[in-house]
Chains A and B, each alone.
Chain A
Amino acid sequence: MSLDLSLPADLLRALAPELVLTVAAMAVLLVAAWRHKTVRDTRVVGWLALVALVATAAAAGWLWWNGARPVGAPVMVALDDFRLVVDWLLLAAAGLTVVLSFDYVERERLLAPEYYVLLLFATLGLMFMAGGDDLMVVFLGLELMSVSVYVLAGFNRRSPAAAEAALKYFLLGAFASGFLLYGIALVYGATATTSLTQIGTQVRTLGLANSPMLLAGLGLLLVGFGFKVAAVPFHMWAPDVYDGAPTPVTGYMATAVKTAAFAALYRVLTEAFAGVAAWHDIVGWLAVATMVAGNVVALTQRNVKRMLAYSSIAHAGYLLVAVAVGGDAGAGALLVYLVAYALTTLAAFGLLAAIGRDGEREVRIDDLAGLAQRRPWLSFAMAVCMLSLLGFPGTAGFIGKWYILVAAADAGRLFLAVVLVLTSVVSAGYYLPVIMAMYMKPEPFEQAHANVRLGRLGAAVVAASVAGLLVFGVRPNRLLDLAKATGEGLHAGPATSAAAPPSPPRPPAPSGR
């Protein structure tokens, strides 16, 4: 299906997933405004949110199934498999978060149905981020997401830690937005456009690769994205925010937000800055710093939630390796790793939500001692998650890490591969103690885990994720095919549209220079 995005009807079709979600989110907001009294109301809104997400996924699936491709001049949104596959991942992460939240909001008395509405709007923002083919759209999506997540992080009004988390996230998020905007402005100054495709064309045709203004803009963009993906040295906010936020929201931030940020970063770098070689090395060094610092600091954590926060920083480092590699292989590796990472992390946070109490801030690794005897299935799921995060063969995490290693080796970035391998060894030092506590240490006292309970829905989500981890770990062929095709589509798309003779890209406007 070819869609000429300059025609309104085709543009609407191309935006179908976002439009469906916008309308649905508005509708759910109205419902929430009318009915927000009882526990049942919250639950109903949750189910409606889930329906909205499924409908959006169906719209994205419709575009994907028909092989929608853009023709004609590039507009502000991209239309390629990369966008649609990332959309699916985001929607799946959001859907799992909603299901995991059902029991959690009731237990923690966070009874405001707006919780689910905010999740929907945040997801909408993420979809725009991942699908934007224009720096302005990316920025708008990022802001929509950020504002929603600021509120979600502080949703537990009674918890000082949540307030701290929200404020910290807000302040540093505002900083990051500032950096990003200034970067966009400088890039616009250098190239006279904010369209990613056209920036790429301008850099190539005008030989801007060494323009100081463009490089400064690139640097600021990297800082802005560095904040959002929590790359070292821009990670300081992450542990506190992850720690203070309600656990399902933490899971959402660690998976969906990170996924979209990485997708946007990857698109910006490979489309707009394909002609600037410098970013490969810069991102490479960011990756090294993130992997080393994230893993080493995670070693010292005694608190499970905080350990997972630092572990998610470490994983951002692995993902940055895939970004630094670039190319089709980098995109494929990025997608596969994001799928594996999102499944694992959501399941882990879901399990943590079941184990914990009082916002899970008090669950230390030692508190899990002897859990395996009381809750064998829950412990098994947690153990699989830890092994997948460690990148152990037989789990999806291993396939993801392997793909990144293959991509790095093929691109000749052996140093990054070696650092990834060595820091993975370090990570055994903090994932294994969780398994060790659950299986090898005795229960501290009778009934220590009596109130550990995973609701039926949560259990279903976790079971599905863990099954997915194991299946992808042994038989990843489909996932790899999808990722490969998607990665190739990302770079084939703009190239053909730029080279399409009937409708060449708009002539560059040289007025900016």
Chain B
Amino acid sequence: MKEHLRRIINTLAFRILIPVFAIVFLLGFSVYIFVLRSVSGFADEHIKENIADMSGDIYRICDKSLNDLLMESASGDKKLVRLKKGFTIDEIESYMTANDLKGGIIENGKERLRIGDFTQEFLQKIEDTEEHTASTFKYAGEKYYAAHSHFEPWGWHIILLKDAGDYSGLLRRVNSSYAVTAVILLTSAFLFLYLLNIYIRKPVSAIIAPIRKGEKPEYKGIYEFEFLSGSIRDVMERDEQLKEQLFQAQKLEAIGTLAGGVAHDFNNMLQGILGYAAYLKMKVPADDPMYEPLSVIEHSAERAADLTKKLLGFARKGKYIIEPLNLNDIAENVTAITARTFDRKIKTEMTLAPDLWTIEGDRSQLEHVILNLCLNSRDAMPEGGILSIETFNTEITKETKPRRYMKEGKYAAIKVLDTGTGMDEETQKRIFEPFFTTRKWAKARAWDCQWHMGL
């Protein structure tokens, strides 16, 4: 369960979404509170001003009525004053109704007008506030804005009340706006999730899934992920090559060790043959019929010994005579042999760099390598062709090195080219394998390439 939870928490979607949601929510909520308070505050001030203005309007209605009486010289006529008060109360009632106001008029303690149902104590509380100034009061669980004034000539106390609920439309509009915003935000969040899924999670999964199975990712699509997929694929390919090379090296080492052991023993045996062949040759005159066979035995034994030396060289890797030498000399020596021994249909060409760098190596081994390569070329050109040997200076950098195990640096190079049948890809891969050959009739040659590798 814990592991499951940990996996959920560590998913890409969770790590991105939770902060996004948290920020949006906090931001939205803060702005909501701020706007709501601002709107409420503004509305509150505006409503209070409005109520105070209306209180002033009602005072002016009373004032005008009294002035009318004065102008008609009727302010002393009790009957006319009664009538005027009655009409004034009606005018005030109409004004209050038109403006959704509640409250009333109290004349010397006697109620003359009442709109709404309020207790005397509540109305008394309003009377304690400053005249023509709006305040807020709570009555029966409802909020009211209230203002009051006195019209002294008639002993009137006028109280105005406005239900705060009448202004709830304003706050409802703010709330509606926020509801719409919340819907937009939620929709955006889901859209974001959808895009995240399509453009990030799916490509990442497409890269990760084959890697988990040990396969190389082959993602095609968004450039950045395609690049990442390609890079991972390259790294995996190099890893495979390295493993293959390590395996090859181990295989060769095992074979080398075996071959070295065999060669060592075989060489010891050959020393006996060589020794006795030489001893017998000394015992028989040169014209003796046995002399020639003994020479053949001795010569064959020498060749066998030479072969064992090569095997030992392959097995021991570098137990050769190392000396400074020029590859041009090697090329010239080998060409001297091939020119005399190869079929005339094969033309030998040589291009030698005059300023070729001096290298360190075993002269005879190198000559043997080049000679063997020339022999392979000859075999590849049964109908004749051109065999060319070229020497040149070169520099191997990180970018240009053909094989990973090669060190970067300056190299003197020798190139053997022929116009023969060439090698297919499969052959190219296997040329350094021991005993590999494309010719059944010349297995001896098969050692050559492995040997070159040993060199």
Partners in one complex: no
